[in-house]
Structure 1
Amino acid sequence: MQQLQDRFGRRFHYLRLSITDACNFKCEYCLPNGYQPQGKPRHLAADELGRVMAAFSECGTRKIRITGGEPTLRKDFEQIVELAANTRHIDTVATTTNGYRLAECAADWQRAGLQQINVSVDSLDPQAFARITGDSRFDLVLKGIDRALELDYRKVKMNAVLLKEHNGKQLPQFLNYIRDRQVDIRFIELMETGLHHDYFKQHHLPGQQIQQQLLQQGWQLDARDRDAGPALNYSHPDYAGRIGLIMPYAKDFCASCNRLRVSSTGKLHLCLFTEAGIELRDLLGSDQQQPELIARLHSALHGKHETHYLHDGDSGATPHLASIGG
């Protein structure tokens, strides 16, 4: 088995697999006008998704994160989780969700093989949450997180996009939340996308500002695992949870890249912010095409750039994060 590797020696063992670009929330920084499909969506069917997973697993992938849009909108979400969990060599199955179905379905998903859950919660203030997401189900989302903790999922994380005008001063609320909960909060620096230049200018908050506050309050940077991604994780002896920072504008952010993305329409994306995608769908019709599919994956890695170009104001071909799964 030859592991996927690019020209810069980076190895890729983590697949973010989008199963839909649809979402039922209207987050300001992603889909402020709600989901608006361009024609009739042609999302990969479950058997096609299974072939993507199998090919990546034969190339060294060990973790699959099922993403969207909102992945749990798909009626066959549980079946897709089970497919991932039963794929040879895959030892971690995760998802990122807005959490609206979590309280009801967490146990069923766990039985299907889901081990890790990231829930998008951009504010712990119900009114701010509603302003950011266009949805008022704040209490239901938090109930879902509590349910996942009760079920002892391997990891439960909360994702919060840093937004200067909405949550930039809410670090104390987030810290209070994880004082007695084993939840990792990931603060994600707002990234500029093709449709949101003005929003980015108004709301961008550098992650270093949160980093400085954490250090001043005694938080310590955790040692990085060998296969760790770009997040910097911080711990504090007085807190059950941890804080993670994802700062894509920081120096050398891309040096530890270990993930690839496949969109819900079957395109391989080597970076969240570069090319329009490399077609895979023509090789997903049968199991007999797997050798050719694997060869295409290896060939595609030769074209991966050393870094994104966000620093230059170039967000590539990504219109919004829901389009290829964030």
Structure 2
Amino acid sequence: MLQDNFGRRFHYLRLSITEVCNFRCTYCLPEGYQCDGDRDFLSLEEITHLVQAFAALGTSKIRLTGGEPSLRKDLSQIIERCAATDGIRQVALTTNGFKLPQMIDSWIDAGLTRLNVSLDSLDPRQFQAITGHDKLSTVLSGIDKALSRRISVKVNSVLLKPYSEGMLNQALSWLKDNPVTLRLIELMQTGDNQAFFNANHLSGQPIKNRLLAEGWIPVVRDRTAGPAQEFSHPGYAGRIGLIMPYSRNFCTSCNRLRVSAKGNLHLCLFADKGLPLKHLLSQGQGDALQARLRSLLADKQASHWLDKGYTGATQQLAMLGG
């Protein structure tokens, strides 16, 4: 089992498979994806060896992220390789939903067990203003199709000052009959968004207070769950989660590690650098890779220090999938 010096165990790997994204979200890539270097992203075989090494060290959940992972033509094969790895019990995907209606069946057939969809507004005009695309109906259609296949679906929405009150009110109505978990995520400062962050950051605490006042009940976290504080209500088919990275003790329950699309281990979303693994991702180097992972865990810090304005090497969230 991978464990750091603070006793935290890591069952969960967030694996980016591309830095490319076709959306222009205001809080992440407002000018769109800018290719400022090579696109030497991990190959299918390198991903296979990486996942096998993590699984041998106790990882049971893989989340495929980006950028936008559906832009990889071999995504179904990547899902299939992850799902076929001994020890991996959950294969999840985070997507903007652009290709969801036409691709969700093939992803589920390949072994996908969980789906997260980025959806920052349920209002078509606001959705387009945030993402740069008039695709809300496409994304919602894909979510409906995923639910019809009885796969676990979560919806990620970043809290933004101009939109979030309306989003919450619309979402409460939507969650009455839709068995999804809406996760409201505090906007995080990155290397290139300080002015935007200062103008748009909202705390999730007032929303938590409202939920509790309206009869929502905290849900006990599973060991492989992410950092969301989840709430359920007997009158709603869906749930609401809050991800509040600026709250006290947020990092004490950390259970995930991150690997970038270029094969660098990031001990935290806001670590000061990525630690290269790609040179160990060829066949026959599994033992050396496992030893390297154990060694690198000694450098994991107790906290991300976001509350002090430290953003590390993360220039924008598409680098590591958030």
TM-score by length of 1: 0.97
The aligned amino acid for 1:300 is: L
Among 268, 289, 306, the residue aligned to 1:310: 306
DSSP-derived class of the 1:206 partner: coil
Residues 1:170 and 2:167 are matched in the alignment: yes
Q: Within 5 Å, give how 1:26-65 maps onto structure 2.
A: 26-65=24-63
Give the RMSD, CA atoms, in angstroms: 0.9
Which residue is 2:112 aligned to? Answer: 114
Identity of aligned residues (%): 53
C-alpha distance in 2 between matches for 1:46 and 1:170: 38
C-alpha distance in 2 between matches for 1:227 and 1:77: 23
DSSP-derived class of the 1:191 partner: coil
Which residue is 1:86 aligned to? Answer: 84
Number of paired residues?
A: 322
Change in 2 beyond 3 A, CA 1:168/1:201:
farther
Q: Within 5 Å, give how 1:228-267 maps onto structure 2.
A: 228-267=225-264
C-alpha distance in 1 between matches for 2:142 and 2:214: 29
C-alpha distance in 2 between matches for 1:227 and 1:36: 33
> In the TM superposition, what is the alpha-carbon distance from 1:231 to its structure 2 partner?
1.1
1:159-218 deviation digits (Å, cap 9, x = unpaired): 000001122342110111110111000101100000000000010010102111111211
Contact 1:230 1:253 in 2 (8 A): yes
The aligned amino acid for 1:312 is: K
> In the TM superposition, what is the alpha-carbon distance from 1:280 to its structure 2 partner?
0.2
DSSP-derived class of the 1:93 partner: strand
The aligned amino acid for 1:315 is: T
Contact 1:25 1:135 in 2 (8 A): yes
C-alpha distance in 1 between matches for 2:35 and 2:266: 20
C-alpha distance in 2 between matches for 1:250 and 1:169: 23
Which runs of 5 or more structure 2 residues have no equivalent in the other structure? none
C-alpha distance in 1 between matches for 2:269 and 2:200: 20
DSSP-derived class of the 1:157 partner: strand
> In the TM superposition, what is the alpha-carbon distance from 1:245 to its structure 2 partner?
0.5
Which residue is 2:186 aligned to? Answer: 189
The aligned amino acid for 2:176 is: R
> In the TM superposition, what is the alpha-carbon distance from 1:221 to its structure 2 partner?
1.0
DSSP-derived class of the 1:302 partner: helix
Q: Within 5 Å, give how 1:193-212 maps onto structure 2.
A: 193-212=190-209
C-alpha distance in 2 between matches for 1:39 and 1:317: 16
Residues 1:297 and 2:293 are matched in the alignment: yes
Q: Which runs of 4+ in 1 moved over 6 A?
A: none
Which runs of 5 or more structure 1 residues have no equivalent in the other structure? none
Among 4, 8, 33, the residue aligned to 1:10: 8
